[in-house]
Amino acid sequence: MNTFIKKLIGFSIGPVVGAMISFITIPVTTYFINPAEYGKASMFLLFQTIVGTFLFLGIDQSYTREYHSATDKTRLLQNALLLPMVLAIGVLLTALIAPGTLSRALFGRADYTLPTILFGVMTIFIVLERFLMLSIRMREQAYEYSLQAILVKSAVLILTLIYIFFIRRDFLAVVYSTVLGQITGDLYLFWRYRNLLNPKVFRLNRSLLKALSKFGLPIMVATSFSSLLNGMDRLALRLWSDFDQIGIFSATLKIAAILSVIQTSFTSFWIPTAYRWYSEGRPIDYFKVVSDAILLGMSLLAAGIFLFKNVIIFILSDQYSDAQYLVGFLCLQPLIYTVSETTCLGIVFTKKSYLSIWVSLIALIPAILLDILLVPSLGAAGAAIAIAVAYFFFFTARTYFSGKYWIKLPVTKHYVVFLFLLAGAFLNLFHFPGMLFINCVWLLLTLALQQSTVRQLWRFWRQQTSQKKK
């Protein structure tokens, strides 16, 4: 268990330090760039995420699934890279041959040639970085993984400062600093692991490629739905609201990224650990303890965000003051997703990747309906409600399918805590006297609802302490 904790800490360093760097980047950006311009930049980054979803074809997930059973890890990596790289090169060629067409799709105008070409170059970097980072993660090289995350965030911060203070203060400042920062950080990664990318040792393995594609393609469809789910809020705001609301919503997402840090850290560490435990035949109690502990930690952090939501105004600037009312709902998305990573394992263990399609659809349908109903009248607040409720359905579907094909984890406590936090998020949509006191009570009640988990962790800590003394 000590090794378990050390690796968790190692994988957490990068996201935590990265979040600290982002917290410097956010106010620098929002104090000098108005919500409408910030909204345009967020739409560019959203488009980049959606394109990335199709590039991977789900083969990135296949790669992690096959990693421990493969004898030649380099050959596995290079075969997994093949199809995504072909698609990425296709995007780059499109950017080079018809930059005006792609620029119009990205920015609404045909004259942004340079950022359009950079978008094409970025697709190559996205694919290479993704598979190299997965390789590091599956080796459980926690500190190496964290170092790369810190390098990229640092490069983005430095370039953001340069652009904001010396070059320009519009949405292109965010676009250029993000893209060039990512490329700069990735160059170190590519050099360090150039042996894995050596084309001289590449040998096409058709049967392996077929197996990777067969497992991955259903995941690609599911991931496409998932990307649409995560981007539906901003797409709805683009259709039925304005760039100001998109900017406020996107800036609030950055604040909610406090919990996304835990999500990224935990997922990076948990997936290879869970696969290893499954291969070792560990009892279900191991998985249950982790699930309950993550629920406790994430829910307390969410309740803490309710309590300190007013700080958002100081971080983002007065232009983004409405963000404080949205953060309660937006922090539930990373919370619910992270907890679901501990209750959905039956889907991947049984290789029933197609179930992820149904999971995403079950979450996407309420998201679309609520966006249609709420966004035209409530704007960013309606989009925030929609995504939080949709992720409640996401958790339910993931947990149900996992339990149907593997082992059912007890999740009554999870539902009680989620519903309690949803109620708290609704209260925090409004401003009235005594809100600080109510949020203090909400935090204490969140802890009280999980007394059994606290006692279980306390017993475990005492056990470990007594063993060390012996």
Answer with the residue of higher pLDDT: 142 or 79. Answer: 79
Query: Which contacts of 434-441 are long-range, i.e. CB under 8 A and separated by 24 or more positions?
Result: 436/307, 439/303, 439/306, 439/307, 439/309, 440/307
Residue range 69-99, pLDDT digits in tens = 777 788 888 888 888 899 999 989 988 998 8
- Write down the pLDDT at residue 357: 83
Q: Do the beta carbons of residue 127 and residue 59 sit within 8 Å?
A: no
| Unique residue bearing structure tokens 């919990």 | 259
Poorest-confidence range of 112-121, 237-246, 314-323? 314-323
Q: How confident is the model at residue 422 (pLDDT cuts 50, 70, 90)?
A: very high
Query: Does pTM top 0.75 for this prediction?
Result: no
Average pLDDT score, the chain: 82
Nearest to 125 by CA among 190, 60, 78, 49: 190
Nearest to 332 by CA among 272, 282, 284, 393: 393
Coil/strand/helix, residue 317: coil
> In 193-283, which ranges are continuous DSSP H helix?
206-240, 243-280
Round to whole Å and give the CA distance between 212 and 205: 11
- Write down the pLDDT at residue 272: 77
Residue 23 has pLDDT above 70, yes or no: no
Q: Do the beta carbons of residue 336 and residue 302 sit within 8 Å?
A: no
What one-character DSSP code corresponds to residue 167? I
Residue 469 has pLDDT above 60, yes or no: no
Nearest to 323 by CA among 307, 337, 335, 311: 311
Name the token pair of 21: 């760097």
Q: Do the beta carbons of residue 113 and residue 102 sit within 8 Å?
A: no
